[in-house]
Amino acid sequence: MTPGPVAPARGAPRRRGLTERVIFLGPGLLYLVVFFLVPLAIIAGISFLERGRFGGIVFAPTLDNFARALDPIYLRVLTSSIGLALVTTILALFLGYLTAWGIARLPRRWRTIALILVVLPFWTNFLIRTYAWIVILNSQGPLNGALVGLGVIAQPLELLYTPGAVVAGLLYAYLPLMILPLYAAIERLDPELREAAANLGATPIRVFLTITLPQTLPGVIIGSIFVFVPSLGNFIVPELLGGGKLIMVGNLIRDQFLKARDWPFGSVLALAVIAALAVLLVVQAQVSRRTATTTAPGA
């Protein structure tokens, strides 16, 4: 609210304002600082410390943990995690964009229903959703049963415990989070811009690449963040659907904290995930600033 000469400030005299501020903002912010910021700070701090002999923490500042993270073994885990998360994100982007576009084309009433349908699975139990894929992909499961029955394959495929299964599980978990921001961006598009471009001689593909895609870019990035980062940090899907053969960063972190009890190293890995998130957020902020569209009033 920009104050013009007539703009009313929420005018209570200053003294009372302070008490009210404390009552409203105090509890919530305090809680978040203690139980959100402080834990993050502790993680950051621990990453610089040493692991004690029996699993505790020794206050000896070191950069060893960071060096260890660059060890080829761990680097491989990191890169394969990024790879899987990336594949998941790209698939989600492809499927999600088309779906969001489709929803935007629906009549108004159906749109709301479609959006609710898309969001509902997201609220259900994550384990159950992942478990459903165990059932489906099992060599005696419905998918194999259907493929054999249709004569596509002779023998059941070993679908479970493969990278494909992990990607499927991650995609299943986070696809709704890609669709929503994309839908929001697509819904805001001004069809006249596309028509103008077509009128000036652009082919549909050109129109898409030069007009539509750039304008929906902020939504694309937000959706990608919502899929990529959780995929990176996930350990349930790799464990249940990857069968322990596929270790991702999430599993590593889990193991360091609960099995190997190497908290400092686990913290470094967590920082890697946070770093990925931070980088993407910065990219997102830049992109949305640059693609702010100007539309004529009344458009």
Nearer to other proteins, 24 or 293 (CB): 24
Burial of 79 (0-12, 13-18, 19+ CB in 10 A): exposed
Distance CA(279)–CA(232), nearest Å, equals: 14
- When the beta carbons of 17 and 61 are compared against other proteins, the nearer one is 17
Alpha helices in 35-107 (DSSP H): 38-46, 64-69, 72-105
Do 81 and 248 touch, CB atoms closer than 8 A? yes
8 binds other proteins (CB under 8 A): yes
Residues in contact with other proteins, shown as a per-residue x/- string from 46 to 85 under the rule CB under 8 A: x---------------------------------------
Query: Residue 234, interface with other proteins (CB under 8 A)?
Result: yes
Binding span for other proteins by CB under 8 A among 65-73, 76-84, 202-210, 261-269 = 261-269
**Whose CA is closest to 181, among 217, 212, 213, 209?**
217
Q: Is 277 an interacting residue with respect to other proteins (CB under 8 A)?
A: yes
Report 115-144 residues binding other proteins (CB under 8 A): 115-121, 123-136, 138, 140-142
Q: Which two tokens stand for residue 177?
A: 């989070």
Reported residue count of the chain is 299
- To the nearest whole angstrom, how small is the minimum distance from the Cβ of residue 154 to other proteins? 18
Binding flag, residue 248, other proteins (CB under 8 A): no
Q: How far is the CB of 292 from other proteins (least distance, A)?
A: 16
Window of 24-32, 70-78, 79-87, 291-299 that interacts with other proteins by CB under 8 A: 24-32
Min dist CB 33 to other proteins, Å, is: 8
As given in the structure block, the two tokens for residue 145 are 């049963």
Please choose, out of 12-20, 72-80, 209-217, 288-296, the segment that lies near other proteins by the rule CB under 8 A.
12-20
Output the smallest distance, CB 31 to other proteins, in A: 6
Count interface residues toward other proteins (CB under 8 A). 98
What is the crossing angle of helices 163-187 and 72-105, to 10°? 40
Task: List the one residue from 93, 236, 237, 247 that touches other proteins (CB under 8 A).
Answer: 236
Q: Which of residues 150-209 bind other proteins (CB under 8 A)?
A: 172, 175-176, 179
In whole angstroms, what is the distance from residue 175 CA to residue 190 CA? 25
The residue assigned the tokens 């978990």 is 173
Residue position matching structure tokens 């384990």: 127
Q: Give the C-alpha separation, 182 to 292, whole Å.
A: 16
**Measured from the CB atom, is 72 or 222 closer to other proteins?**
222
Q: Give the dihedral sign, CA 114/104/213/299.
A: negative
Does residue 103 touch other proteins according to CB under 8 A? yes
